[in-house]
Structure 1
């Protein structure tokens, strides 16, 4: 079966990717495991120059945890690999990804990417319903109107990977998803063809880090004074929420 290159993002010692690897191997699909940056205890000092903590807090309304920075940098590590390769697209799966049968039907259609970014899993997703792709396996994909949550699984073109790796500035938000994706043809699958295996918000290591440091988004009525708030408000009301 012809598929784009598949990269699995995991942490050394985590041993979480075995079920995903078995599912891929059962269909004869090759993959490469990329060891991410471990920021669960602390972001390694050598990566500090690649993040903007003050900018992240200003943008997010709360401090980002070291685990969130490390996760975002780990995805960038894969983007660098994709940008340096020859394949026009690649698939990225986090180690707790659980691909469904439609995912395997969809893969061969992605070797020549139909868009710049295709999200297999997503949450809090607002889309433009009149701008859609019809994909194999009864899957439709709609252009995202606002960056959603989750980076469990996605296809990214080499060109978009190069931008996200080298031209998106220091990290100021989690891996799911930078605002830069709105510059490209970014779509979200409906239904989702990848889900998170055995994970809920309550047992996510990133969520545990936010709770440990009591990192909650601060809301202020001052946000009502900014045009960006009302642009987002209007975009949500003109879009449809998928998930």
Structure 2
């Protein structure tokens, strides 16, 4: 059984109680990870730790993004220094399918190693973004109880639930000591092309984790809405255009398919 880490802000004990009860009900051991709180942190300190670079304008980050991203990065350090081959990372607004326990008991680390994956995305997000509901994937076969494994062939953002291997966590920290882009773009963003290139990530469908923003909202969503919804610059538009063309070519060759995501619950 892989270790399960639950990221939680100290000011949101309600979320921890809820997801803790779900995990306990499934008979799964877990441990809480203290999330860095942007409301309690010095902005300059966050910005220095997060880093800035050529991608910063194309993939801007709010202080909340920085705090969230640095929390995940700190956790990767713990995973890299641990004994387990891989670990499951959950954010506290995750809801778990009944089959999550059976999946967690599978040899996920071995599955990922056989398919050359450093990260495996577990979540479904029910919001309006088509890229999250219909990502491109290369079908690799069944995993457990009708769940399919796919190689990620397009950006598929969100970090509410994923598995990362110990080796991949170490490589991420060595190659990118500063993230420079929000963590979901870093891990699962083809356009940003940072951790995505190293990890060759996969995803599962139906997904065993629901990112339940409809119930819990987002701690950083309002901040993004307030200051970061302006038009994308020409460099980002050009980058996105090139990736769309590549994806259209892959679809045309049958290299990937558009996957309609579902929650296993």
Instruction: Report TM bin, short chain.
Output: 0.7 to 0.9
Relative to the length of structure 2, the TM-score reads 0.78
Contact 1:69-1:174 within 8 A present in 2 as well: yes
Q: CA deviation at 1:43?
A: 4.8
Contact 1:56-1:64 within 8 A present in 2 as well: no
2:99 to 80, 93, 102: 102
Contact 2:64-2:223 within 8 A present in 1 as well: yes
Separation (CA, whole Å) in 1 of partners of 2:21 and 2:153: 35
What does residue 48 of structure 1 align with?
47
Contact 2:38-2:67 within 8 A present in 1 as well: yes
Structure 1's unaligned 5+ residue stretches are: none
What does residue 195 of structure 1 align with?
210
What does residue 207 of structure 1 align with?
221
What does residue 32 of structure 2 align with?
33
Aligned residue for 1:208, secondary structure, equals: helix
Separation (CA, whole Å) in 1 of partners of 2:40 and 2:146: 43
Separation (CA, whole Å) in 2 of partners of 1:30 and 1:11: 19
Closer/same/farther in 2, CA of residues 153 and 222 from structure 1, 3 Å limit? closer
What value does the CA root-mean-square deviation take over the aligned residues?
2.5
What does residue 90 of structure 1 align with?
87
Separation (CA, whole Å) in 2 of partners of 1:10 and 1:160: 23
Contact 1:43-1:66 within 8 A present in 2 as well: no
2:180 to 172, 186, 204: 172
What does residue 121 of structure 1 align with?
123
What does residue 5 of structure 1 align with?
3
Q: CA deviation at 1:78?
A: 0.9
Relative to the length of structure 1, the TM-score reads 0.85
Contact 2:58-2:235 within 8 A present in 1 as well: no
Aligned residue for 1:183, secondary structure, equals: helix
Aligned residue for 2:167, secondary structure, equals: helix
Check if 1:183 corresponds to 2:198.
Answer: yes
Aligned residue for 2:61, secondary structure, equals: coil
Separation (CA, whole Å) in 1 of partners of 2:144 and 2:172: 27
Q: CA deviation at 1:194?
A: 0.3
What does residue 17 of structure 1 align with?
16
Separation (CA, whole Å) in 2 of partners of 1:142 and 1:202: 28
Contact 1:4-1:90 within 8 A present in 2 as well: yes
Structure 2's unaligned 5+ residue stretches are: 113-117, 126-130, 187-192
Task: Give the paired residue count.
Answer: 234
Contact 1:143-1:188 within 8 A present in 2 as well: yes
Separation (CA, whole Å) in 1 of partners of 2:49 and 2:206: 35
